[in-house]
Amino acid sequence: MTTAEPATTVSIASGPLVGPILRRVVGMLAARADLPLDRLDDAVLVADLIAARAPAHSIDDKINVALDPGDRSLLLRVGPLRQGGGQALIVDAAVPGVGNVIEQLADELSIRPEGDTEYLHVLLAYTNGR
Amino acid sequence: MGSDTSPHAFRGSARESSNGARAHRVPRITTSSDVRLTLPARPENVAVIRHVLGAFAEAMHLPAGMVEDMRLAVTEACTNVVRHAYHDGVPGPIDVVVRPKGDELELIVSDHGHGMGPSPDATGPGLGLPLIAALAEKLEIQQCPSRGSRLSMTFRSRARGPA
């Protein structure tokens, strides 16, 4: 029988520290997950977008992200967010002329309800074509 | 409960008298936010914690000397957790909180393991805690074998008076 390791989580009060800290944590874990440089860069860009947009949709004044590095993949679990916050966060991440950046960069994107809240799951992975 | 949960406090910094000059250029810590990072207590995650602390210090424009003290102290505290807190093969969590408090910065490193104490594989001279106590303005230790340990380190950013 194996016991699972505790999750890696980061909780940052909304404000100027969210971006710098989330970017570093995501960058380090993406590197450890052996993502190639372009996907590591994508992961950091997604982290920056989450840092910029998630505070408006969080249930409190903190941004909480759980990180699960896998085999050449990194799963970000953002939340708890208020109801509708997951989709709103995705929509807010749209950049004029570019489109929705998180949707374009994520290999999998899903919103998981949990009680009165919800979580945004963003999977970044390395596949042969990307 | 029979466990020693009383805090042990150490005050003062070994570097206090030698680098008082640098304290005069230290900005006041104004952010009221805090950061909490929880990771499996594995050696490679100590680097993540150091990296996050670097990002925090950079964003807060903390002076290099203070940052180096903090990083060294946190590295020692986290290494203690990695080496001694969990014995059954599966690393438990290591929890790090960075909390600005006026002119001070509180760093808390805690675990849910066996608490601190001699380890069968410990071969070093045990300089970790004395080093932390020397670097931090204040050190408070709480430990309980059934609930783990908690180290609270305080670093001061404002100018110090003459020794």
* Amino acid at site B13: S
Query: CB–CB of B33 and A3 under 8 A?
Result: no
Q: Which of B2-11, B54-63, B87-96 has the lowest mean pLDDT?
A: B2-11
Distance, in Å, from the CA atom of A114 to the CA atom of B72, rounded to the nearest integer, reads: 40
Interface of B with A in 61-120 (CB under 8 A): 90-93
Angstroms from B134 CA to nearest CA on chain A = 27
Mean pLDDT of B103-125: 76
Distance, in Å, from the CA atom of B153 to the CA atom of B140, rounded to the nearest integer, reads: 6
pTM of whole model > 0.80?
yes
Using one digit for the tens of pLDDT, what is the confidence trace for B16-65? 444 444 444 444 544 445 899 999 999 999 999 999 999 999 988 898 88
Query: CB–CB of B51 and A13 under 8 A?
Result: no
Angstroms from A19 CA to nearest CA on chain B = 9
Which strand (E) or helix (H) includes residue B93? strand B93-101
Distance, in Å, from the CA atom of B117 to the CA atom of B137, rounded to the nearest integer, reads: 23
Angstroms from B42 CA to nearest CA on chain A = 10
Instruction: Tell which residue, B64, B58, B74, has the closest CA to residue B26.
Output: B64
Considering only alpha carbons, which residue of chain B is nearest residue A1? Answer: B90
Distance, in Å, from the CA atom of B30 to the CA atom of A32, rounded to the nearest integer, reads: 33
Give every CB contact of residue B148 below 8 A, 6+ residues apart in sequence.
B85, B92, B110, B111, B112, B113, B114, B115
Q: What is the pLDDT along chain A (130 residues), one digit of tens a residue?
A: 446 778 899 999 999 999 999 999 999 999 999 999 999 999 999 999 999 999 999 999 999 999 999 989 999 999 999 999 999 999 998 888 888 999 999 999 999 999 999 999 999 999 765 5
The CA dihedral of A22, A23, A26, A30, to the nearest 10 degrees, is 180
Distance, in Å, from the CA atom of B9 to the CA atom of A120, rounded to the nearest integer, reads: 42
Considering only alpha carbons, which residue of chain A is nearest residue B92? Answer: A6
* Chain length of chain A: 130
Distance, in Å, from the CA atom of B92 to the CA atom of B101, rounded to the nearest integer, reads: 28
Distance, in Å, from the CA atom of B84 to the CA atom of B143, rounded to the nearest integer, reads: 13
Q: Which of B33, B44, B91 sits opposite A13 (nearest CB)?
A: B33
Distance, in Å, from the CA atom of B157 to the CA atom of B69, rounded to the nearest integer, reads: 12
Q: How large is the ipTM?
A: 0.89
Query: CB–CB of A28 and B48 under 8 A?
Result: yes
For residue A8, the chain B residues in CB contact (below 8 A) are: 38-40, 45
Q: Which of B35, B38, B40 sits opposite A12 (nearest CB)?
A: B35
Chain B contact for A7 (CB, 8 A cutoff): yes
The pLDDT value recorded for residue B124 is: 58
pLDDT at residue B3 is higher than 70:
no
